[in-house]
Structure 1
Amino acid sequence: MLDKNHKKFTLWVLSWPILIELFLQFLLGAVDTLMVSRISDDAVAVVGFSNQLFQAMTTLFTTVASGAGILIAQKLGSGRSKDARKIGIMALLVSTLIGIVLSVVLYSMAVPISSALQLPERLLPLAGIYVSIVGGGMVLVAMMSTMSTVIRNTGNTKGPMYTAVGMNIVHVFLNYGFIYGALGLPQWGLTGVAISTVASRLLAVLLLLYMFLRAFEYRIQWREFRMFDKPLFKEILHIGWPMGVNLSCWVFTQLIIYTYIARLGAEELAARTYMNTLESMCFLLGMSIAMGVQIQIAHLFGAGRTEQAYKAAYRAFGIGIIFVGINALLIYVFGSQILGMFTADPEIIAIGVSLLGLNLILQPGKLMNMTLGNALNALGDTRFTMYTSLVSMWVIATGLSYVLGIHMGWGLVGIYCCMIADEYVRGICALIRWRGQKALRKAVVPSAETAVPTPVEPTPSPAPAGA
């Protein structure tokens, strides 16, 4: 039975559904951006800005979900399925409560929050509409994120993938109807896009809830949501809070960087939003591999198979770098034509084209950071990634971005240079930490066969890009 369970946690079995799910999420964002661009470039700027704000707000419930996901994979690897079940239930309960609070705040304070973040005044009316509607449904994002994480870490990565399919289909059709006044729907523009987003997320929550209740060996009963295991919840927070700080560093520094870009002008803000879409095309496979290997390593580590866990990170990085490099090169070659699909504004296209070469440099560093950072998180070594994020993101990504982009007048090019430096600094730090095997040697995770992980033989470390 144990060997059969391990087959569910191979990199390929875990990663390909995540890839399709991420691709569909990317497609949702790309179609969203493409359709919203038919309204106006100002509407695109508002959507891009709002998404950064929403990501910043999600850090609280993501902290719980991320810690719970790693623990679930570890507990299942060690044969402690009852604890894994309890962790999933508590994570959903706490995340939902946090999501309700965020929904109330964003719905009632949409314009003041947007104004405080220096969104150009002419964009505030649109922001008030979009942020209040989509932000008011933040509880749906909390539930969706947590249930997807729990389901994925049980080894079922196909369930969230199927959900993404349904959500995308509904969202595209509703977007089309609301933007163009088709399918019997009113032509509500950005308001309709916001309603479409919330409606598609509600469908996703219903589908995921059905799968969540059946994610473990026995169906979860509603009465179980009244239980709360404090020691297990402390384990979640022990792993999760540094990941939450890490993620919050990223989203808040990105939000601050967006305020820098907003100061440069609405055209730069729109160009950055379009470039986000292009960048997403570059690392979809790399991200899916990084997410898959985190689940795989956590499961192997829980089972005491630490040497296999160590090698798995390098294998994932080696596979990912090939595909990320190819994707980044294609974007560099065809980027200007793709940008032309989103906007006819020559200034916005020119700004985007100027960043294509820098994106080619950015992506390998981003992959290294994602893959090895996730590997460390899978072992529970989350404080190290937190410390490197606190220093690198705030000093390099944020501080130097202001110096080069705003103070020295380099604009978006200066900001991108700082983003590149930040990714490589964090990636190299993660590589050094992983090669040292500190977490693998010191951490102890109970296993179904032994209470102590198998020590890693002190053989020379394989090359980072090994197959």
Structure 2
Amino acid sequence: MNNKTSRFKMILTIALPIIIQNIVMHFQIMIDRAFLGNLDSRYLAAIGNVLIPYNALNFFFFSAATGLTVLVAQNFGRKDYSKVQRLGESSFFYSTVFSIGLFLVWEFGAKGIFSLFGAQGDILADSVTYVQIIAISLIFLGIEISAGSIFQGVGTTRPIMIFGVIKSLSNIFLDWVLIYGKFSLPAMGLKGAALATMLSNIIAAIGLFVAVLLYSDLPFKFSKRALLKPDWNLYKETLSIGIPSGLESLLWNVGQLVIVRFLNQIDGMTIGIYSLVAGIQSLALYIYLGFAKAAMTKVGHHWGNKEFDKARDIGFYCQKLSLVVTIIFAVIFMVFPKLLAGIFTSDPEVIARAVPLLRLSGLHINLQVFNVVMGHTIRGTGDTKWMLYSQIFGTIFVVGLSPVMIFGFSLGLLGMYITLILDEGIRGGINLMRFYYERNPFKVWVASFKDNKEVA
């Protein structure tokens, strides 16, 4: 009993700050949408067009930083603190260089990107205006994700939570001030929302960077001089693990971008409805993602110290905790879909179209949780290529089946959701077996079949 309690406390120490940060940030996004959706429902479509391609590139960057998290966790587990320090110093420099390049992509290429995926007219103009403002904060993204990866890798996640909460609360306050024009400022609407997001992102990035430099509980200290003398070979080691995760994320988002293109062909509001439902559904994801990241950190610690049985046990324990979360949310989505949709828009047509999708989300999240959590445990072992291969299959599956379901069977948005459910279910089951066997499950099946045949 004491061992179970201590294990739960250990996981919760890592997971809870991440969960709190995720929830607060998610509510900030939802409040931002509620402000804009009730101001003009057209803004929901604009944000939907922005967030999916914008996040596609950003998630590549965040996922590539998984390499730093895994290497920090494994080297921390084997107590090689000097290497952890040098890995972090190199990442701060090179990640900032790449994040500045990402800013330039959006500043000069936004119109072409959104046009490519079907945005037109006022929605296109609103999307470009919004993204060119929030993209300014990308200049600081490199230092933010490097600091966050270091804290997560060592298992000290409270600073991530603190600055995540600061980011979200400042964004909500600035939304209210700038969207509606408080304190004698002009009402800026969509531009005000973008400006609020940009300013709060910069505040949090700088704060987290200063925190990791000054945090007294880390068993190493970063050299300010070394930050300007990075080791490219160490950063290459980070990229060798991180890039497969980045490509995995990029491929997932490619599937999402193709879906955006398909949904924009249905009608102008479909993408707004999808964005609304996905945002509500993501609340469950942002909670169990805390357990998934805790699993990756602890699996990394045990794997680095060659404690493989402990790594597997902690991974499956985090999976059980995550499944409890998704079952609770499935019940909420089934019972209160109309209430949830009505928080973010007063448009009766939007609410009516969102309700059946929210109910279907209950099934979606209970399959997705296996894909996400098991994926994080596999990454904790240092094997990020497996998840890339899994996502290659997933992207081909979604891109190939979704037009059949959306247009061929005339199911529209419902058909797209069915496609996503099938994808998550298949890959979640495969990843579960992959971590259980700690090697390719298909090879295990072949070997088992041969053994049985020989016995017969």
TM-score, length-scaled by structure 2: 0.91
Matched residue type, 2:404: V
How does 1:284-433 map onto structure 2 within 5 Å? 284-392=286-394, 394-433=395-434
Provide closer, same or farther for how the CA distance between residues 214 and 154 of structure 1 changes in structure 2, counting only shifts above 3 A.
farther
- Residue 59 of structure 1: how far off its partner (Å): 4.3
Aligned to 1:85: 85
- Identity across matched positions, percent: 24
* Distance in 2 between residues matched to 1:8 and 1:204, nearest whole Å: 29
Deviations 1:177-229 (CA, angstroms, capped at 9, x unpaired): 11211133220000011110000011101210111213543432221123333
**Number of equivalenced pairs:** 434
How does 1:77-226 map onto structure 2 within 5 Å? 77-215=77-215, 216-226=218-228
* Distance in 2 between residues matched to 1:270 and 1:252, nearest whole Å: 18
Matched residue type, 1:437: E
How does 1:226-241 map onto structure 2 within 5 Å? 226-241=228-243
Provide closer, same or farther for how the CA distance between residues 53 and 88 of structure 1 changes in structure 2, counting only shifts above 3 A.
same
* Distance in 2 between residues matched to 1:417 and 1:316, nearest whole Å: 27
Deviations 1:322-354 (CA, angstroms, capped at 9, x unpaired): 121111211221111121121122221111112
Matched residue type, 2:231: D
* Distance in 2 between residues matched to 1:9 and 1:399, nearest whole Å: 44
Say which SS state the counterpart of residue 86 (structure 2) adopts: helix
- Residue 383 of structure 1: how far off its partner (Å): 1.0
- Residue 234 of structure 1: how far off its partner (Å): 3.2
- Residue 92 of structure 1: how far off its partner (Å): 2.1
Aligned to 2:23: 23
Matched residue type, 2:416: I
Unaligned runs of 5+ in 2: 1-5, 441-456
The range that moved more, 332-341 or 226-235, is 226-235
* Distance in 2 between residues matched to 1:406 and 1:140, nearest whole Å: 42
* Distance in 2 between residues matched to 1:395 and 1:163, nearest whole Å: 37
Q: Is the 8 A contact 1:62 1:146 kept in 2?
A: no
2:246 aligns with one of 244, 247, 267: 244
Matched residue type, 1:319: L
Deviations 1:284-308 (CA, angstroms, capped at 9, x unpaired): 3211111111111101111222111
Matched residue type, 1:48: G
Aligned to 1:62: 62
Say which SS state the counterpart of residue 438 (structure 1) adopts: coil
Matched residue type, 2:162: Y
Aligned to 2:73: 73
Say which SS state the counterpart of residue 155 (structure 2) adopts: coil
* Distance in 1 between residues matched to 2:60 and 2:327, nearest whole Å: 33
Say which SS state the counterpart of residue 135 (structure 1) adopts: helix
Say which SS state the counterpart of residue 39 (structure 2) adopts: coil
- Residue 7 of structure 1: how far off its partner (Å): 9.0
Aligned to 2:13: 13
Deviations 1:23-55 (CA, angstroms, capped at 9, x unpaired): 111111111111111321111111122111111
Q: Is the 8 A contact 1:282 1:331 kept in 2?
A: no
- Residue 112 of structure 1: how far off its partner (Å): 2.1
Q: Is the 8 A contact 1:283 1:327 kept in 2?
A: no
Deviations 1:269-294 (CA, angstroms, capped at 9, x unpaired): 11111102210222332111111111
* Distance in 2 between residues matched to 1:272 and 1:361, nearest whole Å: 16
Say which SS state the counterpart of residue 354 (structure 1) adopts: helix
- Residue 60 of structure 1: how far off its partner (Å): 4.5
Provide closer, same or farther for how the CA distance between residues 61 and 278 of structure 1 changes in structure 2, counting only shifts above 3 A.
closer
Provide closer, same or farther for how the CA distance between residues 162 and 82 of structure 1 changes in structure 2, counting only shifts above 3 A.
same
Aligned to 1:52: 52
* Distance in 1 between residues matched to 2:50 and 2:170, nearest whole Å: 21
